[in-house]
């Protein structure tokens, strides 16, 4: 048995279980504080691996994630390898493309390569002399009483290690969390959505991006959708989100083309018909799960962060960003409580649970917004109204997307504020409409117009209003 317990005078041992995005970043946060950090990762070192299996090829990095990277001096390095996306680019069935900006001019999210980000973070963690990365270590079990962990090795052997603090960053199917489930008063829920996802590659065209690169492209088709994010090698990674039963209906290459012809005709020449026929069947569609739990800690021994604490569906582009923000929030609480784990851990649960639950709910909400609402003229009109009001009253009206993506407003506060703003704006629009009707009526009574002309104009207005409300 290896024993990593500290000797007198030594800093405490922090075991970070999981060397994925959040685990690798968290290792840097703890190492910076001088703890003796041991990272245990079930996979081999991805920096030496031929094939890196991950949950998506690229992801959207935004303000919260960037702030966390900044804390460990990694922001510039990662941002320099990201591709800014200033707006969503909506692809209509007709092939018409219309941009909807994410925020004000100059505000953007970044498309970053997941594998590269993970590698850079592992390399950064390793620069601290007080950090050790242990690959090929799969956590099997651990004791909340003693902090003793048992790891399985690829050769079938087992290793036991003790730590003062165990930080569970081992993802949505966390082995660390299993101990929590055995205890009373631990709340846990998981929901699989009916949709799965599949990634397809859109190659460069004549050495350049096949579509405009500084956008997150969306093909919203109400019950399903496809999105595409740009990569540094000028490819796009397209992700098709669709109910599993629809994926399963398509069983031959010709059916793939027929399906794309019907719903994404403009994408066929860009991805390539042969590639589509081949890649659709390369891997089965992957499931998406939303996990909520509480509390995030056991005594002063263990804490959950990242997807281990809150796996969210990917439709707000916040899973990793929220996980990265977990690291900052924990770090801020460590400052307030002088690194006293007995005080820090319960406070972390108290502060972070409402926010992580709020982003889990928002991600579910955006699941419908991205594939259906963006098709509605009313939705686009409201986005323009919100953005205009934000421009006129930047401190009073802040669009939800802006609060979530471009600020560190606590997620649950953003949701409360959004509901309040929505009520105020809708009432304002209603009052404006009523005022216009009364004002118009008054003018009509004062100056009666030719009734025939009026009927034609009224019909035109009615048709326009009806079009606004059709999705
Ligand atoms: C399709 C898709 C698109 C997404 N897009 C975005 C996006 O645009 N923006 C965004 O912010 N988020 C996005 N996300 C969410 C993001 O991928 C996750 O939130 C993020 O990966 C969480 O990081 P993590 O380190 O907590 O977990 P993971 O990335 O899952 O890492 C967990 C690590 O723990 C290791 N591990 C697991 N079990 C054990 C064990 N028993 N012992 C030791 N190690 C173990 C794993 O090998 C892995 O390395 C997306 C997710 C999906 C599925």
pLDDT in tens, the chain (471 residues): 555 555 556 789 999 999 999 999 999 999 999 999 999 999 999 999 877 666 678 999 999 999 999 999 999 999 999 999 999 999 999 999 999 888 888 999 999 999 999 999 999 999 999 999 999 999 999 998 888 999 999 999 999 999 999 999 999 999 999 999 999 999 999 999 999 999 999 999 999 999 999 999 999 999 999 999 999 999 999 999 999 999 999 999 999 999 999 999 999 999 999 999 999 999 999 999 999 999 999 999 999 999 999 999 999 999 999 999 999 999 999 999 999 999 999 999 999 999 999 999 999 999 888 787 777 888 888 888 888 899 899 999 999 999 999 999 999 999 999 999 999 998 888 888 888 888 877 887 888 767 666 566 656 766 665 555 444
Is-contact 62 405, C-beta < 8 A? yes
Q: Distance between CA atoms of 366 and 315, rounded to whole angstroms? A: 6
Starting from the edge strand earliest in sequence, which strands make up the sheet with 165-168, in order? 131-134, 36-40, 13-17, 165-168, 302-304, 297-298
Task: Give Dmax over CA atoms of the chain in angstroms.
Answer: 96
| CA-229 nearest atom, ligand 1 | 8
Q: What is the number of the ligand 1 atom nearest to the C-alpha of 321?
A: 11
Q: How far apart are CA 220 and CA 266, in angstroms?
A: 13
> CA–CA separation, 6 vs 78, rounded Å?
34
Ligand 1 geometric centre to CA of 134 (Å):
18
Pairing of strands 13-17, 36-40: parallel
Q: Locate tokens 């972070």: which residue?
A: 352
Q: Does residue 55 line the site of ligand 1, with CB under 6 A?
A: yes
Report residue 446 as tokens.
Answer: 């004062």
Going by alpha carbons, the residue nearest to atom 1 of ligand 1 is 56
pLDDT at 471: 41
Mutate to test the pocket of ligand 1, among 111, 171, 236 (most ligand atoms within 8 A of CB): 171
Tokens of 437: 């009707």
Q: Which residues pair with 72 in a beta bridge?
A: none
CB 63 within 8 A of CB 114: no
CB atoms within 10 A of CB 440: 10
CA distances, 73 to each of 58, 121, 312, 331, 408 (Å): 22, 11, 27, 15, 18
Nearest protein CA to atom 4 of ligand 1, as residue: 314
- CATH code assigned to 1-374: 3.50.50.60
- For the chain, give the secondary structure using H, E and C: CCCCCCCCCCCCEEEEECCCHHHHHHHHHHHHCCCEEEEECCCCCCCCCCCCCCCCCEEEECHHHHHHHHHCCCHHHHHCCCEEECEEEEECCCCCEEEEECCCCCCCEEEEEHHHHHHHHHHHHHCCCCEEEECCCEEEEECCCCCEEEEECCCCCEEEEECCEEEECCCCCCCHHHHHHCCCCCEEEEEEEEEEEEEEEECCECCECCCCCCEEEEEECCCCEEEEEECCCCCEEEEEEEEHHHHHHCCCHHHHHHHHHHHCHHHHHHHCHHHHHHHCCCCCCEEEEEEEEECCEECCCEEECCHHHHCCCHHHCCHHHHHHHHHHHHHHHHHHCCCCHHHHHHHHHHHHHHHHHHHHHHHHHHHHHHHCHHHCHHHHHHHHHHHHHHHHCCCCCCCHHHHHHHCCCCHHHHHHHHHHHHHHHHHHHHHHHHHHHHHHHHHHHHCCCCHHHHHHHHHHHHHHHHHHHCC
Prediction pTM value: 0.91
Asked if residue 400 has its Cβ within 6 Å of ligand 1, the reply is no
For a mutational test of ligand 1's pocket, the pick from 43, 151, 170, 286, i.e. the residue with the most ligand atoms closer than 8 A to its C-beta, is 170
The Cβ of residue 381 has, within 10 Å, a number of other Cβ atoms equal to: 13
With a 6 Å cutoff on the Cβ, whether 319 touches ligand 1 is yes
Specify the residue for token string 């069983």. Answer: 251
How many angstroms is it from 345 CA to the middle of ligand 1? 22
What are φ and ψ of residue 159, in 5° steps? -125, 140
Is the minimum distance from the CB of 21 to ligand 1 under 6 angstroms?
A: yes
Please report, for the chain, the start and end positions of each structural domain, with discontinuous segments joined by +: 1-374, 378-469
pLDDT value at residue 469: 47
Six-digit token string for 250: 């398509």
Query: In 3D, which of 207, 211, 210 has the Cα closest to residue 89?
Result: 211
Q: Helices 319-336 & 341-371, crossing angle to 10 degrees?
A: 160
Q: Is 171 in the pocket of ligand 1 (CB under 6 A)?
A: yes
Buried b (16+ CB within 10 A) or exposed e, 103-125: beeebbbbbbbbbbbbbbbbebb
> Given this model, what pLDDT does residue 52 score?
64
Atom of ligand 1 nearest to the CA of 62: 11
The pLDDT of residue 435:
84
| Ligand 1 mutation target, pool 169, 319, 404, most atoms within 8 A of CB | 319
The whole-angstrom separation of Cα 333 and Cα 349 is 11
């Amino acid at each position: 048995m290896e024993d990593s317990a500290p000797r007198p005078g030594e800093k405490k041992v922090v075991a970070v279980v999981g060397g994925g995005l959040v685990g690798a970043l968290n290792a840097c946060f703890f190492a910076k504080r001088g703890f003796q950090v041991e990272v245990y990762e079930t996979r081999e070192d991805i920096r030496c691996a031929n094939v890196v299996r991950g949950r998506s090829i690229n992801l959207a990095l935004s303000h919260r994630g960037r702030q966390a990277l900044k804390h460990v001096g990694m922001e510039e390095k990662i941002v320099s390898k990201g591709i800014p996306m200033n707006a969503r680019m909506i692809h209509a069935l007709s092939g018409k493309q219309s941009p909807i900006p994410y925020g004000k001019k100059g505000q953007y999210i970044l498309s970053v390569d997941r594998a590269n980000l993970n590698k850079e973070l592992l390399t950064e963690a390793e620069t601290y002399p007080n950090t050790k990365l242990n690959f090929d270590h799969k956590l099997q079990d651990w004791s909340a009483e003693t902090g003793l962990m048992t790891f399985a090795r690829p050769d079938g052997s087992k290793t036991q290690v003790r730590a003062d603090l165990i930080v569970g960053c081992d993802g949505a199917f966390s082995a660390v969390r299993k101990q929590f489930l055995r205890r009373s008063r631990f709340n846990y829920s998981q929901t699989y959505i009916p949709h799965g996802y599949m990634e397809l590659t859109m190659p460069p065209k004549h050495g350049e991006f096949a579509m405009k690169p500084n956008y997150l492209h969306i093909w919203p088709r109400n019950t399903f959708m496809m999105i595409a994010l740009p990569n540094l090698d000028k490819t796009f990674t397209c992700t098709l989100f669709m109910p599993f039963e629809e994926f399963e209906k398509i069983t031959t290459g010709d059916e793939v083309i027929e399906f794309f012809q019907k719903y994404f005709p403009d994408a066929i020449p860009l991805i390539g018909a042969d590639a589509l026929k081949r890649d659709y069947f390369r891997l089965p569609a992957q499931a998406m799960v939303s996990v909520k739990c509480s509390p995030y800690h056991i005594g002063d021994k263990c804490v959950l962060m990242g997807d281990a604490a809150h796996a969210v569906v990917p439709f707000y582009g916040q899973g990793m960003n929220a996980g990265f923000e977990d690291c900052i929030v924990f770090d801020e609480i460590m400052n307030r409580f002088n690194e006293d784990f007995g005080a820090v851990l319960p406070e972390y649960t108290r502060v972070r649970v409402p926010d992580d639950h709020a982003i889990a709910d928002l991600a579910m909400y955006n699941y419908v917004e991205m594939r259906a609402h963006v098709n509605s003229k009313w939705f686009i009109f409201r986005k323009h109204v919100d953005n205009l009001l934000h421009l006129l009253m930047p401190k009073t009206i802040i669009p939800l997307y802006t609060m979530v993506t471009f600020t560190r407003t606590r997620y649950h506060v953003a949701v409360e504020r959004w509901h309040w703003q929505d009520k105020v704006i809708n009432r304002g629009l209603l009052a404006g409409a009523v005022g216009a009707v009364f004002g118009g009526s008054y003018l009509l009574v004062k100056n009666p117009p030719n009734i025939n002309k009026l009927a034609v104009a009224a019909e035109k207005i009615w048709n326009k209003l009806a079009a606004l409300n059709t999705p």
